[in-house]
Every structure is written in C-alpha cells, then in structure tokens.
C-alpha cells in the first residue's frame, strides 16, 4: 500500500503486513511486472555451523519496513542525488518453496524463482538463507549469460567436495567457476586468516580467480582494483 502523505492513510512502517519495503507482493510468478523482484530463500541445510539462517528472509522483510516512510527514494544531501526513487518498481515474490529433508528439490525451487524473475526482465534480489543458496541462484543465469561474478566476502567458498558434500556453504564459488556462463570471478577478500587451507587458494587461482585481501585492495586503490574486475557483474 502506498504511503499517503497526501491521502487518507499515514501507513507507518510498523503498521500492517511486512512485505519487503512494504512494496507490492506478487503471487503469480508468471505476471511479474517490475524492475526489481525480491525472492526469499529460507534455506539452511547447507550450513555446517549455527542454525537460524532460514529465518533470514522474514527478519529482513520486517527490518526493511523502516525504509517505507514514503519519501519517494533515499536522498543524498552531499551528492544531491535521490536513489531508488518512485521510478524504480520493486515487488516481493515471497519465498521459494523449501522442502524439508529434500535439499536438491529445495535448490531447484530457488532456481525456478530466479529464472521466473529473469524471464520477466527484472533484477533478482535474493534474501537468504545460508551461503549455499548462491549455487541455484547463479545456475539460474545459464540462459542469460555470459556473466561475471564479483565476490566481496571474508571466505573463499571454493571447496570442491568433502565427504560427498558438493552443494554446501563452502562450495558456491567452485560450483560457479565450473559453469560455462560464468566468465570471470574476481574475489575481493576481506579476511587474511580464514577457514580455507593453502590448497584452497592455489586451486582457486588455478581456475582463474583473482584474490585480493582488504590491505591489497586498499594499496591498489578502488580504480585499479575495479579495472581488474568485470562489468555487468553480480555481487554475491
């Protein structure tokens, strides 16, 4: 429901049903008419560590209502610019259908939603969920490529397989690097000491990954670092 400074309702953020940013929800995924489409992926079967990532989409939606005061976008008084103004049409598709005990089926449902958004010509924004939801999300671009990925992350996420696990939260960048439609993968990394062993870095570099620590990124400068990166990329 539109905020109405000029209409009969104040419609404050904490009031009513929390769609993302209190934008319109779309139940029929064959009728997406928007610039940006939000899709939740309340999936956490891919994590090796603490639970609760599946509560992420709902929590993000609730917090997002803070930004529904109806100001017609976010104004930057320093740069005199307005971001995400009313000309950007955002809709909320709800969540992909997660099926307990069925990890492959749940991943397929996530990919299905992303493909529907791409088919409608909208920008998909996914609310996780654990980090493994990148896998179906990136796979869904197969018919919309080639794409390049820019990863800004503390971890490398480049494990091939351990104990038969190939689609957990350690594997998404490796799965991405294997796909034909992913043609570049710069990894701008924050943390110097992380959970990846030396072999992991060597494997990533051998498959074309460009890894920079935060210190190396600062030394290069934003311009030089970006000149190593892609255009038209997806930030994971």
Task: Map the footprint of a second copy across residues 92-121, applying CB under 8 A.
Answer: 92, 94-103, 105
**Residue 55 token pair:** 């509560």
How far is Cα 26 from Cα 180, in angstroms, rounded to an integer? 32
Q: Is 193 in the site for a second copy (CB under 8 A)?
A: yes
Minimal distance, residue 184 CB to a second copy, in Å: 20
- Cβ distance to a second copy smaller for residue 46 or 124: 46
Give the footprint of a second copy on residues 7-66 (CB under 8 A): 9-19, 25, 27, 40, 42, 44-55, 58, 61-62, 66
- Cβ distance to a second copy smaller for residue 130 or 147: 130
Residue 75, strand partner residues: 82
Residue 142 dihedral angles phi and psi, to the nearest 5°:
-55, -40
Q: Cα–Cα distances in Å, from 58 out to 54, 116, 132, 191, 210? A: 9, 21, 18, 29, 34
Q: Which residue carries 């404050």 as its tokens? A: 12
Per-residue DSSP letter, 162 = B
- Cβ distance to a second copy smaller for residue 96 or 182: 96
Judged on CB neighbours under 10 Å (0-12, 13-18, 19+), 3 is: middle
Give the footprint of a second copy on residues 132-191 (CB under 8 A): 132, 162-165, 167-169, 189
- Cβ distance to a second copy smaller for residue 41 or 147: 41
Q: Which residue carries 């009513």 as its tokens? A: 16
- Binding segment toward a second copy, per CB under 8 A, in 119-127, 175-183, 208-216, 223-231: 208-216
Q: Is 88 in the site for a second copy (CB under 8 A)?
A: no
Residue 162, strand partner residues: 165
Interface residue with a second copy, options 88, 119, 152, 192 (CB under 8 A)? 192
Interface residue with a second copy, options 30, 80, 87, 223 (CB under 8 A)? 80
Task: Give CA torsion, residues 205, 211, 213, 217, to 10 deg.
Answer: 140
Minimal distance, residue 144 CB to a second copy, in Å: 23
With left for phi above 0 and alpha for psi between -120 and 50, is residue 13 left, alpha or beta? alpha
Q: Is 75 in the site for a second copy (CB under 8 A)?
A: yes
- Cβ distance to a second copy smaller for residue 192 or 207: 192
């Amino acid at each position: 429901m539109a905020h109405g400074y000029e209409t009969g309702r104040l419609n404050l953020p904490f009031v009513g049903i929390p769609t993302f940013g209190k934008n319109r929800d779309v139940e029929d995924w064959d009728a997406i008419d928007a610039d940006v489409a939000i899709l939740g992926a309340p999936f956490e079967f891919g994590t090796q560590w603490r639970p609760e990532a599946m509560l992420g989409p709902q929590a993000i939606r609730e917090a997002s209502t803070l930004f529904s005061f109806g100001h017609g976008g976010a104004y930057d008084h320093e740069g005199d610019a307005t971001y995400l103004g009313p000309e950007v049409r955002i809709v909320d598709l709800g969540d992909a259908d997660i099926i307990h005990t069925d990890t492959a089926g749940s991943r397929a449902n996530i990919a299905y939603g992303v493909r529907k958004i791409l088919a409608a010509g909208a920008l998909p924004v996914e609310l996780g969920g654990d980090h493994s939801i990148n896998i179906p999300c990136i796979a869904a671009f197969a018919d919309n490529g080639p794409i390049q990925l820019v990863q800004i992350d503390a971890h490398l996420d480049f494990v091939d397989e351990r104990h038969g696990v190939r689609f957990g939260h350690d594997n998404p960048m490796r799965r991405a690097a294997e796909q034909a439609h992913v043609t570049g993968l710069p990894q701008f990394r924050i943390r110097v000491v992380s959970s990846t062993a030396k072999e992991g870095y060597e494997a990533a570099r051998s498959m074309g990954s460009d890894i920079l620590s935060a210190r190396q990124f600062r030394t290069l400068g934003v311009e030089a670092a970006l000149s190593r990166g892609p255009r038209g990329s997806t930030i994971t």
